[in-house]
Structure 1
Amino acid sequence: MTIALSLSFLTDSALVLHFTNVLITSGSMRRYLQPIQVAQAVQLLQDGTSIRDVARRFVVSPSTVSRAWRRYQETGRYTRRAGQGRRRASTQQQDLQNELQLATGVHVSDQTVRNRLSEGGMRALLEPVLKAQHRAARLAFAKEHQNWQVFHWRPVLFTDESRFTLSTCDRRERVWRRRGEHYAACNIIQHDCSGGGSVMVWGGISLEGRTDLHVLANSTLTAVRYRDEILRPIVRPYAGAVGPGFLLVQDNARPHVAKVCRQFLDDEGIDVIDWPLGSPDLNPIEKLWDVMYQCVQHRQVAPQTVQELTDALIQAWEETPQDTIHRLISSMPRRCQECIQACGGHTHSTESHYEFTQAE
C-alpha cells in the first residue's frame, strides 16, 4: 500500500492522526514498542492516560501497551527480556526512516532526524542506570522523607564533587563544506586533544549557608584525601557550628564510603543520611553546579587556563545568592513526591549537566 502525503497541506497533528488511522485500517499496526517509547508510555500511564489512549498514540494494540506496563512494574525495565521475540531484521534508525517515508513519501537520513529534533529544542538527558534494587532504595528514601518540611532539612549539609573542564570536544563536530575545501582554514575546527585541563571541586550547601569551595589538586580524590582535606578541616567544624541534629549528605562514591572515612565520621559523632545509589536528581547541589556553569559560561572572557577556570569557579560559588541555595533545598519535598510518583524511577528534577563535564 503506497501512502503519499503533502506536508504543505497537513499540520503535524493532522499528519500524525492521518498516519495512525491509515496504519490501523490497513492492519499495519506494530506489535512492539522501542525502549524509548516504553519509557514515554510509562510516563503517560503514570500521569493518568488510559492504556487505550496510549496505544492509539503509539499505533500499537492495547495489549502491547499492557504487556510493556506490566513488565515495567515487575522489573523496572524499559527493554524486553533477552531472547524475547524473533531476531530483528532492521535497526531502530531504519524502522524510523521507513515509517517517515511511508507517511511522507520522502526518504530522510538519520542525521536529518537528529537535526530536526535539535531544531525543535529537544535534547538528550544523561541519567544513571536504575536497576530494580536502586528503584526500591530510592522509593524507600522518598517515602521516609516525604513528610519532611523545609525546616526538617535545616541541619542538613548537602555535599558533592564536580569536575569542570576547559574543553569538551567529542571530536564529532561537523562542518558543511564544498568538494575540494577539505583543508580550507574556514572549515577546520581546532581542539585540544588532551581536553585543555580540568578542575575538580567539592562543596557543601545548607539552608543557613555554605562551605568554602574546595579545589582538589590533581583532580583525584582518594579516601584518605577526602578525610584529611574535606571531612576533618571542613565538615567537622561545620557540624560543630550547626550543633545537635547535624546530618551529612554525600553520595556513594568509593572514597565517601571507605572504611577510614566511615570510622572518622563515627568517631566524631557525625550522622550521615543513608543516600540511595544513582540519585543525583534528589540532591539539590547538583543543580547548583549548573548555576555555576552558567555563570562561568556567560563571562565576557572565557577561562583559557586551569587557573583562570579555578578562579572563575570560586567566584561563581561565592557570588551565588543564598536565596538560590535556599530555593534549591526547599525543593526537597517536591523531589521526594516526584520520586514516589515515578515509583523510584527518574524524576523531572534529573538534569542533563553542563558541557563542562560533571563527575560523581
Structure 2
Amino acid sequence: MVPPHNPSSKQLNASRRELSEATRWMIIGARQCGVTVRHISEVFGVPKSTVHNTWTRFNSIGSVQPQRVGRPRKTTERDDRCLYLSTQWDPSLSYKELRQQFGLNISVSTIKRRLNKFGIHKYIKAKRPLLTPFQARVRLLWCIHHRDWTVAHWRRVIWSDECSVERQSNPLVEWVLRSAKERWLRECVKGVAKSGTVKKMIWGCFAGGLKGTCGGMRVDMGESMTAEVYIRTLDFYLLDFVQELRERGIDPIFMQDNARVHTARITKDWLLEKNVEILEGWPPYSPYLNPIEYVWVQLKTLYHKHYQHLADDTRGPEVLRPLMEDALIHCWELIPERLFEALVEGMPRRIEAVIRARGWYTKY
C-alpha cells in the first residue's frame, strides 16, 4: 500500500540522499501494485530515475541494494563489533595489537576507520593523582555524605589551598603555524626551564562569590614549609576573612586538604582555639574536587600574560620573589568574582560525577 501523499516531499527532490533499504522495498511494493513511477516519485520525494533504477535492479538481480564500485570491505559488521568490544575490555591496546589479536589482514588505517564509526579515537591518558581502591571508596563515601548539600551549603565553605608559581613556567599550550620542516625553528619551540627557576609559594581562599585574600606564604629566609609557617599564614590572611563572612551573616566552614602541615596537631589546635569550623573528612588525593584549583589556572594565566617581563629578569631570587608576590596579588584582583560564584554553583555536579564514577577519576 502506498503511503499518503506528503506535499512537502517535493522539496526533497533537489537534495541527493541515500535511500534506506526499507524505502527501496516500499518502492518495489508500490510498483508491483501498479502505481506509476511519477506518483511514487512524488510521494517519496525522490527522482523518477531513482524509482526506475530501483525497479530495474530488482527485476534484473532480485536485489534493491545498488552495486558498489571499488574494493570490497575486508571486515564484516561482526568484525567491527569485536574490535569495538576489545577496546572496551582493554582501552590501552594499540592498533597493531588489535590487528594481531584478531589476525585480520587489514591496515592500521582501516582499524582506525572502523573504530571511528563507534566514536572511538586514540587519546593521551588524562593525568590525575594515583588512587587506590581504598582511596576511591573514601572519595565515594564522602561525596555520598555531602550529596544533599545545596549550593547554599557550599557557599558557606572557605575554599583554600597553596599554589607554587614558577617565574618561567607558562601553563598554556602554545600553538604555531608552521610547515613540517620548521618544527625546530627557534620561534616554533617553547623553551622549558628544567632547574634553577625562581618559584613563589602563595596561599589564597574564597567563599561563594566572595573573593578572599591571596598572598605569599609567611616563610622567613631559609625556612621550609612547616605547620608553624602555615599557622602564621592563616593568622595573617584567614582570620580577617572569617570575620568578614560572619559580619555578613555567614557561618563559615574552612576547607583544607590533607597535607601534613594542615593535619598537624598544632594546626588543628590553633583552628579550634580561633573557633574556626573545619570541613571534616576531606577525601585523599582529590585536589580537583577543590574548586580553587581552577582559580590557580586562571591566576597563572593572567600572571604570564601581564608579567612576562619577569621571566626575562636576571636578578636573584631575593629580588624577584617580592616582585612575583606583588604581581600575583594584582592578578588575583583581576579575576572576576563571577568565576568564584560559578565554581561554587558547580559543586553538586562535582559530587554527582564522583558518585557516578564510584569514587574513581573524573574531570573534577
* TM-score normalised by the chain length of structure 2: 0.59
CA distance in 2 between partners of 1:199 and 1:258 (Å): 23
Matched, 1:212 2:219: no
Match in the other structure for 1:293: 300
1:229 to 218, 230, 233: 233
Q: CA deviation at 1:159?
A: 0.3
CA distance in 2 between partners of 1:245 and 1:177 (Å): 59
CA distance in 2 between partners of 1:319 and 1:188 (Å): 30
- The verdict on how the C-alpha distance between 1:103 and 1:203 changes in structure 2, with shifts beyond 3 A counting, is farther
Q: CA deviation at 1:229?
A: 2.1
**Is the CA contact (8 Å cut-off) linking 1:296 and 1:302 kept in structure 2?**
no
2:97 to 95, 98, 107: 95
- The verdict on how the C-alpha distance between 1:99 and 1:327 changes in structure 2, with shifts beyond 3 A counting, is same
CA distance in 2 between partners of 1:148 and 1:188 (Å): 47
Q: CA deviation at 1:280?
A: 1.4
* Pairing 1:142-157 to 2, within 5 Å after superposition: 142-157=143-158
2:245 to 236, 242, 245: 242
Q: CA deviation at 1:332?
A: 0.6
2:203 is paired with a residue whose SS is strand
Which segments of 5 or more consecutive residues in structure 1 lack a partner in the other structure? 1-8, 25-52, 69-77, 80-90, 107-119, 170-175, 350-360
- The verdict on how the C-alpha distance between 1:154 and 1:59 changes in structure 2, with shifts beyond 3 A counting, is closer
Q: CA deviation at 1:124?
A: 4.3
Q: CA deviation at 1:146?
A: 1.5
* Pairing 1:248-327 to 2, within 5 Å after superposition: 248-274=254-280, 275-299=282-306, 301-304=308-311, 305=313, 306-307=320-321, 308-327=323-342
**Is the CA contact (8 Å cut-off) linking 2:227 and 2:266 kept in structure 1?**
yes
CA distance in 2 between partners of 1:257 and 1:284 (Å): 20
1:81-101 residue CA offsets vs partner (Å, 9 max, x unmatched) = xxxxxxxxxx96973796899
Whichever residue aligns with residue 256 of structure 1, its letter is H
Whichever residue aligns with residue 344 of structure 2, its letter is I
**Is the CA contact (8 Å cut-off) linking 1:164 and 1:199 kept in structure 2?**
yes
**Is the CA contact (8 Å cut-off) linking 2:131 and 2:285 kept in structure 1?**
yes
Whichever residue aligns with residue 59 of structure 1, its letter is S
* Pairing 1:137-176 to 2, within 5 Å after superposition: 137-168=138-169
**Is the CA contact (8 Å cut-off) linking 2:164 and 2:202 kept in structure 1?**
yes
**Is the CA contact (8 Å cut-off) linking 1:199 and 1:215 kept in structure 2?**
yes
- The verdict on how the C-alpha distance between 1:188 and 1:135 changes in structure 2, with shifts beyond 3 A counting, is closer
Which segments of 5 or more consecutive residues in structure 2 lack a partner in the other structure? 1-69, 110-120, 171-178, 314-319
1:170-204 residue CA offsets vs partner (Å, 9 max, x unmatched) = xxxxxx999xxx9x989998654524211111100
CA distance in 1 between partners of 2:296 and 2:98 (Å): 36
**Is the CA contact (8 Å cut-off) linking 1:198 and 1:219 kept in structure 2?**
no
2:306 is paired with a residue whose SS is coil
1:333 to 348, 351, 362: 348
* TM-score normalised by the chain length of structure 1: 0.60
- The verdict on how the C-alpha distance between 1:325 and 1:190 changes in structure 2, with shifts beyond 3 A counting, is closer
Aligned Cα RMSD in Å? 4.1
CA distance in 1 between partners of 2:126 and 2:278 (Å): 29
Match in the other structure for 1:201: 202
1:146-184 residue CA offsets vs partner (Å, 9 max, x unmatched) = 121111122210001111213459xxxxxx999xxx9x9
1:205 is paired with a residue whose SS is strand
Q: CA deviation at 1:297?
A: 3.5
CA distance in 2 between partners of 1:235 and 1:258 (Å): 17
**Is the CA contact (8 Å cut-off) linking 1:142 and 1:336 kept in structure 2?**
yes
Q: CA deviation at 1:345?
A: 1.3
- The verdict on how the C-alpha distance between 1:56 and 1:289 changes in structure 2, with shifts beyond 3 A counting, is same
CA distance in 2 between partners of 1:235 and 1:165 (Å): 24
CA distance in 1 between partners of 2:144 and 2:180 (Å): 56
- The verdict on how the C-alpha distance between 1:266 and 1:294 changes in structure 2, with shifts beyond 3 A counting, is same
2:254 is paired with a residue whose SS is strand
**Is the CA contact (8 Å cut-off) linking 2:95 and 2:108 kept in structure 1?**
no
Whichever residue aligns with residue 255 of structure 1, its letter is V
CA distance in 2 between partners of 1:94 and 1:220 (Å): 50
- The verdict on how the C-alpha distance between 1:141 and 1:185 changes in structure 2, with shifts beyond 3 A counting, is closer
Give identity over the alignment, percent: 22
Match in the other structure for 2:84: 57
CA distance in 2 between partners of 1:166 and 1:199 (Å): 8
CA distance in 2 between partners of 1:345 and 1:277 (Å): 12
CA distance in 2 between partners of 1:146 and 1:250 (Å): 19
- The verdict on how the C-alpha distance between 1:208 and 1:177 changes in structure 2, with shifts beyond 3 A counting, is closer
